[in-house]
């Protein structure tokens, strides 16, 4: 979730020139945005990557993700991945799916951009007595041989890499023919999409790369995988966010522990911070169906299951 990052000087200028409004993140704008990122020279790309890594390493995603564990386990269980399957968990975070999958006997390898989250995932694996290869790296440039996994999976993870075509190509490359490429991607219409929109009012999303939410559109997914896949099944699902506290406290949780919101909030002055938190709270209030001081929201995402051609 990084629609609210601030980049290096050159990139900020692009952002400004393209007018920082949310309309750029519609499907029709993909071509222009793709062109923009592809024209970045190597040092600019390196600066962007470093910035994204810093964002994900800020806050503490391990703490934040604990409340999301039930939804992640529902996702994993539905997929029916057999013990012994060679699986790659891309953008594994603190190991939300990596650890339970390994406990089920799945032969997991995991990778994430954020150094500290890789470390957390390794510590969790060690504490559970699990021997899992967990690497620091980029979904756009996977350090694995061709056709080395039966399943490559990413739950609300690789959708945040700035060059989706590279992500799609890498997934196809490392998955064996007939294997499954699986993703869980937030939709623009759902609760998380609404949250992105509210946040974008305060810290405009970068124009330099396409919205991560485009991965929540079936046609875009189909186009990105192209002839690399033989079959595609896309199913709308709801991710349960359950917090034993109020929407305002959920906004605080995002501001303290979720890297992108942590960084966005701290880029604002005091008045901006108040307005940011109010708008974030309003989205959680709007979609909350609990009436007892708790917060219960179902957030729409698409479950993507593609068969590697």
Ligand X SMILES: C[S@@+](CC[C@H](N)C(=O)[O-])C[C@H]1O[C@@H](n2cnc3c(N)ncnc32)[C@H](O)[C@@H]1O
Per CB under 6 A, which of residues 123..152 are in contact with ligand X? 138-140
Residue 165 or 272: the one with the smaller Cβ distance to ligand X is 165
Smallest Cα–Cα separation from 175: which of 160, 153, 157, 159?
A: 153
Burial class (CB in 10 A: 0-12, 13-18, 19+), 42: exposed
Per CB under 6 A, which of residues 30..69 are in contact with ligand X? 52, 56, 61, 65
Burial class (CB in 10 A: 0-12, 13-18, 19+), 130: middle
Pick the binder of ligand X from 112, 150, 170, 300 (CB under 6 A).
112
For Cα atoms 170, 175, 176, give the angle at the middle one, nearest 5 degrees.
Answer: 140
Residue 6 or 309: the one with the smaller Cβ distance to ligand X is 6
**Placement of tokens 């150094």 in the chain:** 115
Smallest Cα–Cα separation from 191: which of 79, 267, 301?
A: 301
Q: How many residues bind ligand X (CB under 6 A)?
A: 23
Query: What are 235's strand-pairing partners?
Result: 303
User: Near ligand X by CB under 6 A, which window of 30-38, 106-114, 193-201, 270-278?
Assistant: 106-114
- Determine the residue with CB nearest ligand X: 93
Under rule CB under 6 A, residue 72 binds ligand X: yes
Minimum CB distance to ligand X, residue 265 (Å): 17
Residue 1 or 88: the one with the smaller Cβ distance to ligand X is 1
What is the separation, in whole angstroms, between the first and last Cα of the chain?
29
Residue 47 or 309: the one with the smaller Cβ distance to ligand X is 47
Minimum CB distance to ligand X, residue 143 (Å): 11
Minimum CB distance to ligand X, residue 113 (Å): 4
Under rule CB under 6 A, residue 214 binds ligand X: no
Residue 111 CA to its chain's centroid (Å): 13
Return the structure tokens found at 19: 């007018």
Phi first, then psi, for residue 245 (nearest 5°) are -160, 175
Under rule CB under 6 A, residue 113 binds ligand X: yes
**Strand pairing report for 295-308 and 229-243:** antiparallel
Under rule CB under 6 A, residue 5 binds ligand X: no
**Placement of tokens 């186009």 in the chain:** 223
Pick the binder of ligand X from 96, 120, 187, 288 (CB under 6 A).
96
Return the structure tokens found at 99: 């650890």
Under rule CB under 6 A, residue 193 binds ligand X: no
Query: What are 149's strand-pairing partners?
Result: 175
User: Near ligand X by CB under 6 A, which window of 30-38, 93-101, 275-283, 296-304?
Assistant: 93-101
Pick the binder of ligand X from 161, 207, 213, 299 (CB under 6 A).
161
Residue 303 or 309: the one with the smaller Cβ distance to ligand X is 303
SS3 at position 215:
helix
Binding residues for ligand X, rule: CB under 6 A, are: 1, 52, 56, 61, 65, 72, 91-93, 96-97, 112-114, 117, 138-140, 155-157, 160-161
């Amino acid at each position: 979730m990084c629609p609210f990052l601030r980049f290096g000087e050159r990139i900020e200028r692009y952002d400004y020139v393209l007018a920082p409004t949310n309309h750029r993140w519609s499907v029709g704008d993909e071509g222009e945005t793709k062109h923009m990122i592809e024209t970045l020279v190597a040092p600019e790309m390196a600066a962007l990557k470093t910035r994204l890594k810093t964002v994900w390493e800020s806050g503490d995603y391990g703490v934040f993700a604990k409340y999301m564990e039930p939804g992640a386990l529902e996702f994993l269980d539905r997929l029916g991945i057999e013990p012994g399957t060679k699986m790659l968990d891309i953008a594994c975070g603190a190991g939300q799916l990596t650890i339970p999958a390994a406990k089920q006997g799945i032969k997991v390898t995991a990778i994430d951009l954020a150094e500290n989250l890789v470390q957390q995932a390794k510590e969790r694996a060690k504490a559970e007595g699990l021997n899992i290869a967990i690497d620091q790296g980029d979904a756009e440039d996977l350090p694995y041989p061709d056709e080395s996994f039966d399943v490559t999976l990413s739950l609300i993870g690789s959708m945040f890499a700035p060059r989706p075509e590279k992500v799609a190509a890498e997934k196809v490359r490392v998955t064996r023919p007939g294997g499954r490429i699986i993703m869980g991607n937030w939709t623009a219409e759902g609760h998380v999409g609404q949250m992105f929109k509210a946040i974008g009012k305060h810290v405009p999303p970068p124009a330099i790369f396409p919205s991560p939410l485009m991965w929540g559109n079936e046609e875009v997914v189909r186009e990105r995988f192209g002839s690399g896949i033989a079959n595609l099944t896309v199913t709308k699902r709801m991710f349960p966010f359950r917090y034993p506290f109020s929407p305002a406290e959920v906004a605080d949780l995002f501001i303290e522990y979720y890297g992108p919101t942590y960084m966005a909030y701290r880029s604002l002055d005091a008045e901006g911070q108040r307005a940011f938190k109010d708008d974030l709270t309003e989205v959680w209030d709007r979609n909350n169906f609990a009436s007892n001081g708790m917060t219960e929201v179902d957030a729409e995402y698409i479950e993507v299951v593609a068969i590697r051609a």
